[in-house]
Amino acid sequence: MKKNFLLLAFIPMLWMGCQSRPQTPPEPDTYPNAELLLTAEQFAVQMLQDNTIVIDTRTSDSAYAASRIPGAVYFHSRSTLNDPDAAVEFFLVGPQAFQQMMREIGLHNDSRILIYDEGDNLGAARLFYALEYFGHEGYVALLDGGMKAWSAAAMEVTAEQPGTPMSGTYTANVQEDRVCDVTAVLAAVEDPNTIIFDVRSAEEFEGTDVRAAKGGHIPGAVHLEWKEVLQDGEIPYFRSYEEIRDIYASLGITPDKNVIPHCHTNVRGSHAYFALRLMGYDSVRPYEGSWAEFGNLP
């Protein structure tokens, strides 16, 4: 569906506090899968394409009501996607539940989907992962820097009462190569071609911040906190391709390896999944159970 509204002028440079130079997003075309991450200007252009749905995944519905990107529908991915009946805390919902959720916000299997959140893309990446896991066939992209970047670019926002989306026809089709279970994780511990990638905080990894029956980490896991791929500053843009490449390479996380990202509930793991996809990694299978499951094993 086409969006017809006035996009205001872009402010190309942002000054933060007492920094001596402006914070700017990286050149998006340098990433291997650059089409997955859009600047505010690119996002605005993509919104004008037919069959496009914009989804606001911020954690506050009141923030959505007060100021949002025109035409966006609201979906609180970080809570709505949790299965309340799952044995593992905050486990992803099943295909039928996800299918119904997507139909309610107007999705079809070929919909072009643009997602944003507050800025760090935790919520947006969680939905991105779910869409790929459940086999979405259309284009999906995230807004680099989220609503913070959109506002800094002086793009149009609205507080008008949103209409009710027309029901979609979305059908879930689980992609088993997009996930792994605890059995696969245990097998990966001895596999030199697989990286078990822990993106929790250093305290969780070291076992001083205990959020399950036991603390610590999966044997052999490589640690890098999820937000280290983001720039420091008021707007959490992704770091450049070269920066992320070098960070990953220093840890042995190279494109020829199978990578199993995880955290405590796979929200931060989903962010790592998106970053790896952006960087062109082909074999990425998040551990959905994450430490909420592994840390409670007998």
pLDDT in tens, 159-175: 998 888 899 999 999 99
Contact (Cβ atoms closer than 8 angstroms) between residue 77 and residue 131: no
Query: How distant, in Å, are the alpha carbons of 67, 71, 246, 283, 284 from that of 253?
Result: 39, 39, 10, 12, 11
10 or 106: whose pLDDT is higher? 106
Strand boundaries in the chain, DSSP class E: 37-38, 52-56, 73-74, 112-116, 140-143, 194-198, 222-223, 258-262
Question: CB of 283 within 8 A of CB of 261?
Answer: no
The pLDDT score that the predictor gives to residue 10 is 34
Distance in angstroms (rounded) separating the CA atoms of residues 195 and 219: 11
As a whole number, mean pLDDT of residues 148-168 equals 94
Q: Each residue of 123-147: pLDDT tens digit? A: 999 999 999 999 999 999 999 999 9
pLDDT tens for each residue of 215-272: 999 999 999 999 999 999 999 999 999 999 999 999 999 999 999 999 999 999 999 9
Can you say how many angstroms the Cα of residue 248 is from the centroid of all Cα atoms in its chain?
18
What separation in angstroms does the CA of 182 have from each of 95, 286, 292, 293? 20, 11, 11, 8
Can you give the pTM of this predicted structure?
Answer: 0.91
Confidence category of residue 15, pLDDT binned at 50, 70, 90 = very low
Domain with CATH 3.40.250.10 in the chain: 28-152, 176-294
- For the chain, percent of residues with pLDDT exceeding 90: 88
pLDDT reported for residue 28: 63
* pLDDT surpassing 90 at residue 17: no
pLDDT tens-digit map of 77-110: 999 999 999 999 999 999 999 999 999 999 999 9
Give domain 176-294's CATH number out of 2.40.160.60, 3.90.1150.10, 3.80.30.10, 3.40.250.10: 3.40.250.10
Tokens of 23: 């914070």
CATH fold of 28-152 reads: Oxidized Rhodanese; domain 1 (3.40.250)
Torsion sign over Cα 244, 285, 298, 85: positive
**pLDDT band at 25; cut points 50, 70, 90:** confident
CA distance 211 to 247: 27
Contacts 24+ apart (CB under 8 A), 210-214: 210/295, 211/264, 211/291, 211/292, 211/295, 212/264, 212/291, 212/292, 212/294, 212/295, 212/296, 213/295, 213/296, 214/295, 214/296
- Is there a contact between 98 and 86 (Cβ–Cβ < 8 Å)? no
Amino acid identity of residue 53, one-letter, is I
Task: State the chain's mean pLDDT as an integer.
Answer: 92
> Residues 271-298: what's their mean pLDDT?
98
Q: Measure the CA–CA gap between 245 and 87, rounded to whole angstroms.
A: 36
